[in-house]
């Protein structure tokens, strides 16, 4: 993607490079998002780049489902809460 | 709603966040315990119907900072465009070396865990809140006590650092040569632009 900066880069490709994460995070205005998405739909290079970034973010999100509090932490929390007056039902 | 129904179910999320902050399981255990204890004692201040997880994350971060008896991390960056361009450079190298699909072909969970531990604060906690815990920029800003623009700049830098780590991992796993050229290009861009700054 950066290679394009020294070659046949278009303003639309540069816009994708700078704002693809803003778009994926829903941080762009509707008009800016439409412009970016329209170019991505028409440009193979930018579509591949966006797909790469989507997969990266999906890989990070998998961590959420893989790691939770160990049982001993849960028991410790409940124990300390009960000492403070908490009564589980 | 009672504490049991509102707060306790978020213990996994709070634990992950605490672990990302402390990078030490024993310290994370302490932070989680203290977080829930403080939350319970302050339950009367919780506004029913608000985001309990966000509230717990805020307490968790405060507990962590107090436990370390040190000031809030002060590195601020406004070089999001530079980070975006550097990530483009990483991508180009990944394509050139044939591991641009590494994120789908590899089980990256161990690599992500290891890479996260190497990401410095405040980028790591921002990455955890937004990309792992799926919180909004607004929520992250509230938890971290910074403006939304700062969340964005920290997030972009954190993602860039993560991609460098993960693509190196992919390279080491046999997907292609180590992306040294990408790191060199990234470093060159970073140093030549000189847009990083320290603020008090």
Asked if residue A25 lies in contact with residue A58, where contact means CB atoms within 8 angstroms, the answer is: no
- pLDDT value for A3: 55
- pLDDT value for B14: 94
Asked if residue B61 lies in contact with residue B143, where contact means CB atoms within 8 angstroms, the answer is: yes
- pLDDT value for A8: 65
pLDDT of A32 over the 90 cut: yes
Q: pTM to 2 decimals?
A: 0.69
B122 preceded by a cis bond (ω within 30 of 0): yes
> For residue B33, what is the nearest residue in chain A, using CA coordinates?
A77
pLDDT of A40 over the 90 cut: yes
Which region holds residue A62: left if phi is over 0, alpha if psi is between -120 and 50, else beta?
alpha
User: Region B76-88: what's the mean pLDDT?
Assistant: 69
- pLDDT value for B188: 35
pLDDT of B192 over the 70 cut: no
Q: How confident is the model at residue A88 (pLDDT cuts 50, 70, 90)?
A: confident
> For residue A46, what is the nearest residue in chain B, using CA coordinates?
B88
ipTM over 0.85: no
- pLDDT value for A2: 53
Nearest-angstrom CA–CA distance, A70 and A74: 7
Which sign, positive or negative, has the C-alpha torsion A53, A55, A59, A60?
Answer: positive
- Comparison of pLDDT for B162 and B20, the residue scoring more: B162
pLDDT of A20 over the 90 cut: yes
Within 8 A of B32 by CB-CB distance, chain A residues are 69, 73, 77
Mean pLDDT, rounded, of chain A = 86
pLDDT in tens, B89-133: 788 777 777 777 777 766 677 888 888 888 998 899 999 999 998
Asked if B163 is an interface residue toward chain A (Cβ–Cβ < 8 A), one would say yes
Which region holds residue B106: left if phi is over 0, alpha if psi is between -120 and 50, else beta?
beta
pLDDT in tens, B33-65: 999 999 999 999 998 889 999 999 999 998 988
pLDDT of A70 over the 90 cut: no
Within 8 A of A85 by CB-CB distance, chain B residues are 40
> For residue B133, what is the nearest residue in chain A, using CA coordinates?
A64
- pLDDT value for B74: 45
Residues in Cβ contact with B33 at an 8 Å cutoff, skipping those fewer than 6 apart: A73, A76, A77, A80
User: Region B69-83: what's the mean pLDDT?
Assistant: 56
């Amino acid at each position: 993607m950066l290679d394009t900066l020294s070659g046949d880069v278009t303003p639309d490709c540069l816009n994708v490079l700078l704002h693809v994460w803003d778009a994926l995070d829903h941080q762009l205005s509707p008009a800016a998002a439409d412009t970016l998405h329209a170019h991505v739909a028409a440009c193979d290079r930018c579509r591949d780049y966006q797909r790469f970034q989507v997969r990266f973010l999906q890989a990070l999100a998998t961590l959420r489902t893989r790691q939770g509090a160990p049982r001993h932490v849960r028991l410790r929390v409940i124990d300390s809460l009960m000492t403070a007056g908490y009564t589980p039902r | 709603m009672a504490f049991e129904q509102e707060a306790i179910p978020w213990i996994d999320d709070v634990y992950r966040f605490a672990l990302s902050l402390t990078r030490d399981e024993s310290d994370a255990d302490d932070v989680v315990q203290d977080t829930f204890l403080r939350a319970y004692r302050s339950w009367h201040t919780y506004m029913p119907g608000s985001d309990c997880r966000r509230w717990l994350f805020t307490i968790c971060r405060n507990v962590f900072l107090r436990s370390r008896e040190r000031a809030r991390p002060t590195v601020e960056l406004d070089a999001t465009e530079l980070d975006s361009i550097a990530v483009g450079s990483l991508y180009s190298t990944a394509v050139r070396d044939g591991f641009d699909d590494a994120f789908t072909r590899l089980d990256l969970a161990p690599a992500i865990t290891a890479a996260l531990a190497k990401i410095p604060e405040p980028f790591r906690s921002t990455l955890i809140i937004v990309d792992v815990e799926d919180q909004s920029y607004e929520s992250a800003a509230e938890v971290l006590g910074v403006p939304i623009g700062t969340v964005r700049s920290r997030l972009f830098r954190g993602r860039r650092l993560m991609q460098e780590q993960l693509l190196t991992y992919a390279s080491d796993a046999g997907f292609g040569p180590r992306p040294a050229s990408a790191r060199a290009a990234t470093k060159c861009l970073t140093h030549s632009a000189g847009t990083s700054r320290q603020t008090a």
